[in-house]
Amino acid sequence: MTKTIQTDTLIIGAGSSGCVLANRLSAQPDHRVTLIEAGGKDSWHWIHIPVGYLYTMGNPKTDWCYSTTPQPGLNGRSLAYPRGRVLGGCSSINGMIYMRGQEADYDAWGSGWTWSDVLPYYKQSEHYHRGADAYHSDQGELLVQEQRLKWDILETFKRVCEDAGFNDRPDFNCGDNSGVGYFEVNQKKGIRWSSARAFLHPVMHRSNLTVMTHTLSEHLVFDGDRCIGIEGTCRGQPVSIRAQRVILAAGTIGTPALLERSGIGDEAVLAPLGIQVHTQLLGVGNNLQDHLQVRLQYRLKRGDTLNQQANSWFGRVKMALQYAYNQSGPLSMAPSQLGAFFKSSDEVDRPDLEFHIQPMSADQLGTKLHRFPGMTASVCQLRPTSRGSTHISGPRASDAPRIDPRYLSETHDQQVVCQAIEKTRALMDHPLLDQFSPSEHKPGRTQNTPDELIQAAGDVASTIFHPVGTAKMGPATDTMAVVSEKLEVHGVQHLYIADASVMPTITSGNTHAPTVMIAERLASWLSH
């Protein structure tokens, strides 16, 4: 027997944006809001201990556990593609870095989405540790704090960057993030501060808000050109939810998948799967963009790094006691601590490369750390020109999507990657680092020609988990646009999207903060 639920607003996905929307829209006491999440509650301790991302990524308890198709640009490798499947979504498993991007990023987003348009919505949700100013607020729910540890190797690398001409940048979130500094994070005194903790848990007592976990949307339901709800399952049992409006917040992979299963997309994709087209929108699942990081790993002869501590019984006990005492030390670490934004060449007008410097090294993120002292200088291209796609492989929600980012498929991206490796090596050769005697462990200094560098990048590069763009916003005249500038799906009434999939182009940095901002904007429009 199918359970039927009636509501005013149905939000699909309790991640970075869905929790914001649930909070803001349920603030109207007479407006019923139902929030559904395919995963479970965020009660597992590793979600809240910052270093727990090592255990939440790749774990079906908290992660969809997707993977990409084999990537020619990565020498045929397929990458794990973590996406949050739990209250808080990706904000419960991500690297916690708070990063808005650069002012110029928003110029390509269309009418009403310039930096001056979006800044008030960033401030609306933010509780900034240094207090309020022209760029920040201390009245919001999303805590932004400093990291709670320092490493000599990071301090030295920061001085290297400054000596090389990088500006000291104590705040990356004022519209210009060029320079070097420490990342600020979404934490509360060393505890992860996800969207669920910031926006959802404080309001779950509201009588007009219903939160349903373990609830999977199979497909949308329509009455003509109007979306009126979903059909799905809750804890394995059929459920039918009807609503006055529906908001998709299922993320860059989940949102286009639900659209396609519901007949919204490209007939060339849907027809072979036996799915009847409801609304032809060519852009669904296309325009996939992501930040690819080239992870140069270094062996150090001297210096304290996480490698030694994690591989020592005494070190592990010390870390546990440190965190238990005051939530500091390595267990409070974000995956990256020190950042730097810089240009690949003088031909670009603003930074197009970003360092994530880590006092540790491993063959892959999430695998066992090397036993030798090590550091990683990960550098990612901020504005890739390569475009990929994600499409369903079958008509059921259980059918895994085909995710094809097409990394390094464009010559421009290959050139930038080569420049990134060369610039990293130049900094690592700085005399200030001689005290640590670094040597390049991977990919190794034997690769030096452009072809060799591209091959080396393909061997060590990995996603930094920032997929966007698969339901991009734009005017109806744009044949690849999926939503309007007001985030309503073209050709379908009362159906909205508010997650990273609507970004026409990727921002220069981590994508959690922009996703929260997008949710704030839609909530504001729908509340008035």
Q: Which residues are catalytic?
A: 466
- Three-class SS of 452-500: HHHHHHHHHEEECCCCECCCCECCCCCCCCCECCCCEECCCECEEECCH
Task: Give dist(CA 89, CA 342) in Å, integer.
Answer: 30
Structure tokens at 284: 């669904």
424: amino acid identity, one letter = T
Q: What is the DSSP letter of 203?
A: G
Helix (H), strand (E) counts: the chain: 13, 24
Indicate the SS3 state at residue 358.
strand
- Helix %, strand %, coil % of the chain (to 5): 30, 25, 45
Collapsed DSSP state (helix, strand, coil) of residue 28:
coil
CA–CA dist 488, 226 (Å, integer): 11
Residue 369, both tokens: 């750390």
3-state secondary structure 406-441: CCCCCHHHHHHHHHHHHHHHHHHCCHHHHHHCCEEE
> Closest Cα to residue 15, out of 252, 258, 227, 365?
252
Those residues whose C-beta lies under 8 Å from the C-beta of residue 98, and which sit 6 or more positions away, are: 142, 144, 173, 183, 184, 185, 186, 510, 512, 513
> What's the residue count for the chain?
528
Nearest to 261 by CA among 241, 245, 277, 283: 277
Q: Give me the residue label for tokens 């829209």.
A: 25
487 contacts 519 by C-beta, under 8 angstroms: no
Say which DSSP state 145 is in: B
Long-range own/partner contacts, residues 220-224 (CB < 8 A, 24 or more apart): 220/246, 220/258, 220/259, 220/262, 220/264, 220/495, 222/262, 222/278, 222/492
Q: How far apart are CA 405 and CA 364, in angstroms?
A: 19
Neighbours of 70 (CB within 10 A): 12
Of all helices (H) and strands (E), which one includes residue 524? Answer: helix 512-526
| Centroid of chain to Cα 350 | 22
Amino acid residing at 215: T
- ∠ CA 445-447-453, nearest 5°, is 120
